[in-house]
């Protein structure tokens, strides 16, 4: 049989970078995949970017009304997934936190100064995931307040990885690793027939070093952290992970949260929720919901304590020995 050829498809997407490694013995299929991957990523960018004023999400955000707003099936799908994670994390993950994200300078408008307490207090009533109603039958979204503003940056990369995976599965490509800005989805094995070896980064290091390498096959892994996307104001570090309850960036010792789940959409959203919950509540949620979670917590020695949920430890032992 023809030798399987493996290729790497990569490039810019959603203000960040993607890499897809895939292997198959039919070069024509590989070419089709090569073309379809950027098409899928560009279509999701056009639907869900808050950086594009004419994206579907931006047009919903500009829709200052409580009347239902017609959206695509993909938007219904991602809003439902976001709601599922908001419900499961008691609102720690909340896409309506958008006005606070922008006020702290982590959105499309560049900001110099942090918001005042008065500005935060004025914006907070606009935050609350229950103020969005999803009508699947009519394919519409509805706001309970005209000024609700949603930000999908904490879930849309994972969603995009799932859409790329669905396309590759449809083509019958059985070995691939999708990486969209640190959200991973895998199937099958790498070129040496082993599970894909995915590195979880050590936080706070200028060069990228691995804290832990995780063998993955047929699952997703997402990591959220406070060490890449943050702002320093008067020597204080403000993370882009915002607590919807306070409207302020998180202030705790959790430097990064990783989670292994089946779909990348859920992994991406849960990773952000875990960062908002912090080390204690995050681990409690993981144990309660049997989530495979790995936390890096800053300790007094300037190093990190590694905390694994029961499910994560179980999965790592199991995954290292099997590739199906």
Q: Match 């409580």 to its residue by tokens.
A: 66
Per DSSP, the residues of 130-151 read GGEEEETTTTEEEESSTT----
Q: Note whether 129 binds ligand FAD by CB under 6 A.
A: no
**If binding is defined by CB under 6 A, does position 173 make contact with ligand FAD?**
no
Out of 188, 244, 247, 282, which residue is the one contacting ligand FAD (CB under 6 A)? 244
Name the 3-class secondary structure at 85: helix
Q: Indicate whether 217 belongs to the interface with ligand FAD (CB under 6 A).
A: no
> Under the criterion CB under 6 A, does residue 132 sit at the interface with ligand FAD?
no
In this structure, what token pair is assigned to residue 283?
């681990």
Residue nearest ligand FAD by beta-carbon distance: 15
Q: Angle at the Cα of 214 (from 208 to 216), degrees rounded to 5?
A: 125
Ramachandran region of residue 309, left (φ > 0), alpha (ψ -120 to 50) or beta? Answer: beta
Asked if 45 is part of the footprint of ligand FAD (rule: CB under 6 A), the reply reads yes
CA-to-CA separations, 309 to 6, 69, 306, in angstroms, rounded:
34, 40, 10
Structure token pair of residue 182: 């640190």
Total interface residues for ligand FAD by CB under 6 A: 32
Q: Bridge partners of 292? A: 260
Work out whether strand 132-135 and strand 69-70 pair parallel, antiparallel, or are unpaired: unpaired
Tokens of 166: 């669905």
The pattern of x and - marking residues 74 through 113 that bind ligand FAD according to CB under 6 A reads -------------------xxx-x---x----x-------
Which backbone phi and psi does 232 adopt, to 5 degrees?
A: -100, 125
Q: From CA 199, how far away is CA 311, in angstroms rounded?
A: 19
Q: Does 56 bind ligand FAD (CB under 6 A)?
A: no
Query: Which of 61, 181, 265, 308 touches ligand FAD (CB under 6 A)?
Result: 181
What mask of x and - would describe binding to ligand FAD in positions 249 to 288, judged by CB under 6 A? -------------------x--xx---x------------
Residue 140: how many other CB atoms lie within 10 Å: 17
Nearer to ligand FAD, 173 or 200 (CB): 200
Q: Which stretch binds ligand FAD (CB under 6 A): 2-10, 148-156, 171-179, 205-213?
A: 148-156
With CB under 6 A as the contact rule, the residue among 189, 224, 309, 319 that binds ligand FAD is 224
- Residues at the contact surface with ligand FAD, assessed by CB under 6 A: 14-16, 44-45, 48-49, 51, 93-95, 97, 101, 106, 151-154, 156-157, 181-182, 224, 229, 240-242, 244, 268, 271-272, 276
């Amino acid at each position: 049989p023809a030798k399987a050829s493996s290729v790497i498809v990569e490039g810019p997407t959603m203000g960040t970078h993607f890499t897809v490694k895939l292997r198959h013995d039919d070069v024509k299929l590989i070419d089709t995949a090569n073309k379809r991957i950027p098409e899928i990523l560009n279509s999701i960018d056009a639907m869900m970017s808050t950086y594009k004023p004419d994206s579907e999400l931006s047009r919903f955000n500009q829709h200052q009304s409580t009347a239902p707003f017609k959206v695509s099936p993909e938007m219904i799908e991602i809003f439902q997934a976001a709601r599922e994670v908001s419900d499961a994390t008691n609102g720690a993950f909340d896409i309506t936190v958008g006005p606070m994200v922008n006020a702290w300078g982590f959105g499309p408008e560049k900001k110099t100064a942090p918001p005042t307490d008065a500005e935060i207090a004025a914006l907070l009533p606009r935050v609350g995931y229950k103020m969005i109603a999803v009508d699947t039958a009519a394919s519409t979204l509805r706001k309970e307040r005209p000024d609700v503003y949603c930000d999908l940056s904490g879930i849309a990369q994972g969603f995009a990885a799932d859409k790329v995976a669905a396309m590759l599965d449809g083509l019958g490509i059985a070995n691939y690793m999708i990486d969209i800005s640190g959200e991973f989805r895998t199937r099958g094995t790498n070129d040496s027939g082993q599970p894909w070896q995915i590195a979880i980064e050590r936080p706070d290091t200028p060069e990228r070093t691995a804290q832990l390498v995780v063998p993955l096959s047929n699952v997703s892994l997402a990591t959220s952290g406070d060490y890449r996307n943050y702002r320093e104001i008067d020597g204080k570090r403000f993370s882009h992970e915002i607590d919807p309850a306070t409207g302020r960036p998180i202030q705790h010792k959790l430097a990064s949260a990783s989670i292994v789940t089946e779909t990348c959409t859920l992994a991406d959203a849960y990773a952000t929720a875990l960062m908002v919950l912090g080390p204690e509540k995050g681990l409690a949620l993981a144990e309660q919901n049997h989530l495979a979670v790995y936390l890096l917590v800053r300790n007094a020695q300037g190093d990190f304590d590694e905390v694994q949920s029961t499910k994560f430890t179980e999965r790592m032992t199991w995954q290292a020995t099997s590739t199906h």
